[in-house]
Each structure stands twice: as structure tokens, then as C-alpha cells.
Amino acid sequence: MTNGYNGKVLFVDLTTGSTEEEGLPEKVYRDFIGGQGLGARILYERLKPKVDPLGPDNMLGFLVGPLTGTGIHGARFQTVAKSPVTGGWGDANSGGSLAPVLKATGYDGVFFSGISPKPVYVFLDDGKVEIKDASHLWGKDTAETEEAIRKELGDEKVKIACIGPAGEAKSLMACIRHEGSAAGRSGIGAVMGSKKLKAFAVRGTKKVSLADPEGFAALRKEYLKSVKDTEHPWVGMFKQWGTCSFLSPLIECADSPIKNWTFYGAEKFPNHGQLNGDSITKYQYKKHACTGCPLGCKGWTRIDTKYGLVEGSKIEYETLSLMGPNCMISDLGTICKANDICNRLGLDTIGTGSSIAFAMECYERGVITKEDTGGIELTWGNGDALVAMAEKIGRRQGFGAVLADGTKRAAERIGKGSEAWAMQIGGQDLPAHDPRTSTGYGWGYQVDATPARHTATQSMDGWGKGAPTAPKGLDLLLAKTDPTDIPANAPEWAKFTGLDRLWTSAGLCIFGFYPETMPLAEAISAATGWDFTLEEGIKAGQRIQTLRQAFNIREGVNTGDWKLPERLTGPQDHGPNEGKVIDVKAMKNKGYEALGWDSKTGRPLDSTLEKLGLKELVGTLP
């Protein structure tokens, strides 16, 4: 098999307990890279159209890429499934140390189908599969589950991905937790819970085979030096504080939402300094990095709160923003407690913070009352309400059951015009970035196959403006054009999305791309032995993007109907972006066109399918 890969994937049927291996030809790997791309190819081929996302015929995949386990910040694992949130394509990505160990088991991916008759966890031990009873783990939180499995297996080094009570309750905001990180979106934890799969544990010892070990080592050395020497401010921020350091500057530039996206700028949330990087990192007792990462943006913190000692992974920007200013809460201890509840129960903190802010607005407007909420006063700034409701959501109890599937479904249940205050698109709650501040996010929110995806574009118009620069060999004009010039930027966005799909599928983390010397194509070449170019990689990325979108169309999801809330598109009446609007319709239409899709519906054109080597799909999409 090609170097950089194991050449095979594993299928586990949880209904019958049977397993099956499939060897994959080199062309499949070169066309779809690995990770997200390989997952898209396998799900599209193996999954029957219109299956129930929470039924036995759906599949849940865990995948890695060609650079996973090579020592070049390749520690992201990809999960894929049909999403119960959108009814179409679903994926979620996580860091930690599971990915390189999964690859060391001898597989490039593992897929679970069926529904187990009882709760189980699957232990993949150097290629050997064991399906173990997890009845005693059902109901335990994610930290308890990881600890119990390691003790049961007698190995503290076993890597574990698991769900908490939120996944067991099939909350559409349920995530998969691993080592302080989360695969958080697309309802991926609900899919795992629907299969009665409590956890996936891996242990592996196989080494990654590289085509050119010496050349790869030289590239890695060059890359690590660039990380050490770079003057990019974001790199220093990640190293010193992590993503929590972005809260204050993003409040000041009106990127971070306040009071369910109704307020903007520091004047409306003057206490943001209580939630900055220094305020949080002073409670950090241990720095933490995903395998092979020279940045180390994570950490472990201990903080005394009114609720007692809270110990766990350092809070991230999205959580801090959506549970903090978005709910008008500035007490760090309270936010950390709510974050810890979500982490232990296995809840996506983006969706949870958004849903509670939505509920607070409903409460303020009199649409819901204390009788509806079980006595919880969902007033703005009420930290006790945040903590109590996070617990209720994670266990699908009381009013938490109304919110447990995100704001779109909560608004459908509440009615009374509340859909106007649901900050979501396509059923997925929005992350904490305003597309009027950074228009690149508007592209990702609308045009990616998974809506409300901030990581799909990662503030593209910031590239080259003190933020990241493109990898060597790629000329991105985003920093040279007016970000509001939609026609000029659409082709660049299409190029960028190919790049994004490429590094995600290769198994890498976007944060490692900020140094301008990231040798992406060269690293893939040295790992695999291919004469791989960035142009080929971007085309592969666009192939992956188009296949994910074709999955949506096949499943009857009309992404052309996805619309951003008016609060994110119309003019702000105050703050740094006062009066600014973005033409979201043009952004979506031009984005679709640039990717070779129908400008209104998002359906990939047959000519695009031909050009990208997806000929078997021509004439098959509705």
C-alpha cells in the first residue's frame, strides 16, 4: 500500500457484532486524501439514500489522514455521519491524541452501523476488535467513562472517544468527547448514542511508513523553526493563552455577539476584560498540546467558583463568548461551571450557549414564563440560570428538553414568533463570529455542506493582515481585495475551501497553518511518494466539498433555502460596524457559482462533476 496510509478501513455492525475489512485502491486515497474526504466517499457509496439519521442504517465513521501520526501537528480525527440536525451531510472534527493511535491500529478509518441490543463500547486493540458491555457506564459522564474504561482495560494510555448523557438522550447538540476536546457539531453525539455506542477505545503500536523519511524530517524541522521564529501575532496568542485570548479583541471589533446578537462593541459589554486570556490562564496549572503540535493552545485549569472547585480543560473562545456576553454574563467562574457541565454531559457548547441566550430573550419578551421553565428565572445575566439550564439540556429534562435540539427546533416548539430570535441556519446554531466584521464567515455559514461552520473559512479575509498566510505556492488574493466585493472574492473563496478540505482531510489542524512556511504539498509527497502539488490538492479539496454537497442534494436537503438570521445581515445601529450590511444572497449565489454549483439551489452541475472526476454522479442527483 501507498506510504502514509494503512490501505484499509474497518466496518463494525453493532446489531450483529460482525466486522468487515475493506482494502482501498491508491486512487481513492489520492482523490479523497483521507479523513473527511475518505469519509465522504465511503458514506456516499455505502449509505442508502434517505435513511433515518438516528436509525440502524446510518453509519458513524472515525477517520484519519496521510499526515496523521507523522509528527507534523497531525492529531485531528474526523467523524462523519448523516446528520440528524440537517438531514444531510454531517461531520465533526476533534484534536487530542486519539488520531495517531487510531492510525497505529492499522486502519485509516472505522465505521459503525446498526444498533446494539444493549449499551456497549468497542475496543480496537492493534487490529483486534472487542465489543464490550457498557451497561454499567450508561448514565456516566464523559470524564467518569474515560476513567472507568482505562481502569477496566488496565492501561492508562488507551485513547477513548465517548458520549455523555446528552448523547444517550440523543440531543441534537450532543458531541463526542476525547481528552478535553470535542467533535461538537452536526449532532454527531446523538448518532453515537442512537447506536448504544458509549465509547470507542483504541490502542495501537504500528508505525507510520513514510516514502521519504529523511525528506519528511527536514520539512518538519523547517516547519517547527517557522513556528518558533514567526512574528504572526496569532501564533503567540495561541501559545500563551489559547483561543480564550480572542474574547476581548473580538468584543471590541464587534465580531463577538452580545445579548443574543442584539448588542455590539465594548460599550455594550464593558466587563469583557474579566474574561480575557490573562484572567483565564492564571488558573491554568498545566499546559496541554495535541500530539505533535508546537503551539499547545490547550491547558488544564482549576478555579474556585460559587459552585465549588471546577477542574477541567481550559475554556475556549466560542464557549466563553456564547455563554458570556451572549447571555450577558461576565462572571468567569459561572461560565467555567456551565462549560464543565457541558463537557461532562457531552454537549456542544456553541449550541448550548446559543440556546440559552435564545431562551433568555423569549423569557424577557414574555413568550415563556417561570411556569414553563420549571422555576428557573431565565433573565439576562443570571448565571445560576445558565448553570441550571445547561444541566437540564444535557439530560433532556424539564424545559431543557425544549432546548436540547437547538434553537430552530426550540422555536418550533415554543412558537409565538420566537423563530426570529433563533440564531441558526439550516438547524445549526451559529458560532460567535459576525459576518459583517469578517465576511469570510458569511461564506462558511451559508455555502459549506454543514451550515454555521466557522472553521470552513476561518476568517479568510484576514489572511495576510496580521493573521495567517497561505501555504507556500498558493496565491490567495483575499488580503488584497475589498472583503465586501463579493464577485471579486468568490473565486478566492472557492480556492480557499479546497485548501480547507485538503488540510482537514490530511488530518491536520488549521491553527498549525499560520506560519507562512507550512509545506503542505511537500509533506504529503514525502509521506506518500506521490509527486503531489498544491494545485492537485486544492482540486481534491473541491472534489470533497462537492461530494459532501451532492450528499445533501441526494438526501433532499435544499441548501439554497438556508438563510442567515436578519440580525447578522442587516445594518447594525451602533458599534464599530454601524450601518454595515452584507449582501448574503449574492455571497451565496456567487459562492455556489465559483464552486461550479447551481447558483440558486447549490446542486453541483454535471459539468463540475465531470471535471472533478465524479462522473458516476452525473445524472443521478435530483
Residue range 366-400, pLDDT digits in tens: 999 999 999 999 999 999 999 999 999 999 999 99
Q: What is the pLDDT of residue 479?
A: 52
Residue range 559-593, pLDDT digits in tens: 999 999 999 988 888 999 899 888 888 999 999 99
Domain extents for the chain?
8-203, 241-394, 440-563+583-617
Helix axes 383-394, 349-364, angle to 10 degrees: 120
Looking up cell 440580525, which residue turns up? 567
Read out DSSP for 88-104?
SEEEEEE-SSHHHHHHT
Q: Which three cell numbers stand for residue 158?
A: 488507551
Taking the C-alpha atoms of residue 616 and residue 263, their distance in angstroms, rounded to an integer, is 49
Q: What is the pLDDT of residue 470?
A: 56
Position 477 confidence tier, pLDDT thresholds 50, 70, 90:
low
Position 466 confidence tier, pLDDT thresholds 50, 70, 90:
very low
Where are any strands of DSSP class E within 455-569? none
Taking the C-alpha atoms of residue 114 and residue 54, their distance in angstroms, rounded to an integer, is 10
Position 465 confidence tier, pLDDT thresholds 50, 70, 90:
very low
Q: What is the pLDDT of residue 175?
A: 99
Residue 221 φ then ψ, to 5°: -65, -45
Question: Is the model's pLDDT at 476 over the cut of 90?
Answer: no
Q: List the single range of 75-89, 163-177, 463-477 with lowest mean pLDDT.
A: 463-477
Q: What is the pLDDT of residue 342?
A: 99
Looking up cell 520539512, which residue turns up? 219
- Taking the CB of residue 438, how many other CB atoms lie within 10 A of it? 21
For residue 25, which amino acid is it? P
Task: Give, in order, the Cα–Cα distances in Å from 354 to each of 258, 389, 575.
Answer: 11, 12, 21
Q: Are 509 and 293 in contact (CB under 8 A)?
A: yes
Position 523 confidence tier, pLDDT thresholds 50, 70, 90:
very high
Taking the C-alpha atoms of residue 611 and residue 282, their distance in angstroms, rounded to an integer, is 53
Question: Is the model's pLDDT at 472 over the cut of 60?
Answer: no
Q: Are 38 and 498 in contact (CB under 8 A)?
A: no
The fraction of the chain above a pLDDT of 70, given in percent, is 95
Task: Give, in order, the Cα–Cα distances in Å from 518 to each of 73, 231, 511.
Answer: 11, 14, 11
The fraction of the chain above a pLDDT of 90, given in percent, is 82
Position 437 confidence tier, pLDDT thresholds 50, 70, 90:
confident
User: What does the pLDDT average to over 513-539?
Assistant: 87
Position 475 confidence tier, pLDDT thresholds 50, 70, 90:
low
Residue 511 pairs in a beta bridge with none
- The continuous run of DSSP H or E covering 228 comes out as helix 213-229
CATH topology for 8-203 is Aldehyde Ferredoxin Oxidoreductase;  A, domain 1 (3.60.9)
CATH topology for 440-563+583-617 is 1.10.599
Residue range 120-141, pLDDT digits in tens: 999 999 999 999 999 999 999 9
Q: What is the pLDDT of residue 481?
A: 61
Question: Is the model's pLDDT at 257 over the cut of 50?
Answer: yes
Q: Are 167 and 189 in contact (CB under 8 A)?
A: yes
DSSP state of 70: T
Q: Are 379 and 260 in contact (CB under 8 A)?
A: no
Residue range 294-353, pLDDT digits in tens: 999 999 999 999 999 999 999 999 999 999 999 999 999 999 999 999 999 999 999 999
> Same CATH topology for 8-203 and 241-394?
no
At 400 the three-state DSSP class reads helix
Taking the C-alpha atoms of residue 467 and residue 488, their distance in angstroms, rounded to an integer, is 21
Taking the C-alpha atoms of residue 419 and residue 166, their distance in angstroms, rounded to an integer, is 24
Taking the C-alpha atoms of residue 406 and residue 400, their distance in angstroms, rounded to an integer, is 10
Q: What is the pLDDT of residue 464?
A: 44
Report, at the CATH architecture level, how domain 241-394 is classified: Orthogonal Bundle (1.10)
Q: What is the pLDDT of residue 490?
A: 87
Question: Is the model's pLDDT at 509 over the cut of 60?
Answer: yes
Q: What is the pLDDT of residue 471?
A: 59
Residue range 52-69, pLDDT digits in tens: 999 999 999 999 999 999
Position 463 confidence tier, pLDDT thresholds 50, 70, 90:
very low
Position 515 confidence tier, pLDDT thresholds 50, 70, 90:
low
Q: Are 600 and 590 in contact (CB under 8 A)?
A: no
User: What does the pLDDT average to over 487-504?
Assistant: 88
Q: Are 280 and 315 in contact (CB under 8 A)?
A: yes
What is the rounded average pLDDT for all residues in the chain? 94
